[in-house]
Amino acid sequence: MSVKKAIIPAAGLGTRVLPATKAMPKEMLPIVDKPAIQYLVEEAVKSGITDILIILGRNKGIIEDHFDRNPELETALSKPGKEKMLEECLGIANLANIFFVRQKQTLGLGHAVLTGKAFVGDDPFVVIYGDDVIVGDDPVCAQLIRAYEKYHRPAVGVNQVPWEDVSRYCSLKTTPIEDNCFFVDDMIEKPKKGQEFSNYSILGRVLLEPEIFEILEHTAPGANNEIQLTDAMAVVARERGGMTAVEFTGKHYDMGNKLCVMQAQVEMSLKHPEIGPAFREYLKEIAKTL
């Protein structure tokens, strides 16, 4: 069955990037000239997704506004010389069928995904973690969809992380299948030292079947006292036939981490068609003074 739906949870408090996120969601932090969440929606659309549910919390109305029309702005841009910007602004409002739902309490990523139950119905769907931007020629959602079509099992996007960082992510028990794909029959969220299965961690993309909702409904709070999506996926891995891990290609930026936010800015600025060359010269000058 082809995958046409995605959920983007964007209701977290973003405490690691305060004070920027006191009134503004971290998913709206810009990378050069586009908010992070637009990169995610564009990745989904490039992967063939047509319907996207964005999970919002308080202070997140600005995300709805970003994907809406803005008639005042459109009038201001309806002038000679502004055609490209007008086209871009209209394009954002027409990227996909975007729906919104509110997670009334921030009880964790698993709880956020559960609010998407009615939207998902009986279809497989992708979860795009709202603060994980991944840039590359082959969209990661598409990489997961291909693995799902090939192995007929839910799939997770993974990369190896430094061993000392595994405790901040999750750890997967993996057996190689072929190329960049692994069979997964267990996983653990935020493992303590000695509990790790491997240094393969999920970084921001998973493809699930609706069975996850019934599991989430019975998932107790786990690490950080939050209802963890990983804990529900561990049940799928252990008891429901396993999952596929895809070691994806693409550069990952965690927009919930100040240093990563700045790395994203620098690397994407260098590639930007408008400011790239001037920014490169500026960086060279700055580097001389370091």
Binding residues for ligand UTP, rule: CB under 6 A, are: 9-16, 55, 103, 106-109, 111-112, 129-131, 256
**Closer to ligand UTP at the Cβ: 57 or 139?**
57
**Closer to ligand UTP at the Cβ: 12 or 242?**
12
Half-sphere exposure of 289 (CA within 13 A, CB side): 4
Sign for the CA dihedral angle at 237, 238, 239, 241 comes to: positive
Do 10 and 25 touch, CB atoms closer than 8 A? yes
**Closer to ligand UTP at the Cβ: 27 or 196?**
27
CB of 88 to ligand UTP, least distance (A): 24
Tell me which residue of 236, 228, 179, 170 sits closest to 199, measured CA to CA.
170
CB of 5 to ligand UTP, least distance (A): 17
Is it true that the peptide bond before 19 is cis, omega within 30 degrees of 0? Answer: yes
CA dist 124 and 148 (Å) reads 10
Do 8 and 55 touch, CB atoms closer than 8 A? yes
**Closer to ligand UTP at the Cβ: 59 or 70?**
59
CB of 57 to ligand UTP, least distance (A): 7
CB of 213 to ligand UTP, least distance (A): 16
**Closer to ligand UTP at the Cβ: 65 or 88?**
65
Tell me which residue of 237, 226, 201, 212 sits closest to 113, measured CA to CA.
212
SS3 180: coil
CB of 29 to ligand UTP, least distance (A): 11
Tell me the one-letter amino acid at 134: I
**Closer to ligand UTP at the Cβ: 181 or 261?**
261
Ranked by CB distance to ligand UTP, the top (closest) residue is 12
Cβ neighbours of residue 185 closer than 8 Å, sequence gap 6 or more: 173, 175, 237, 238, 242
CB of 1 to ligand UTP, least distance (A): 26
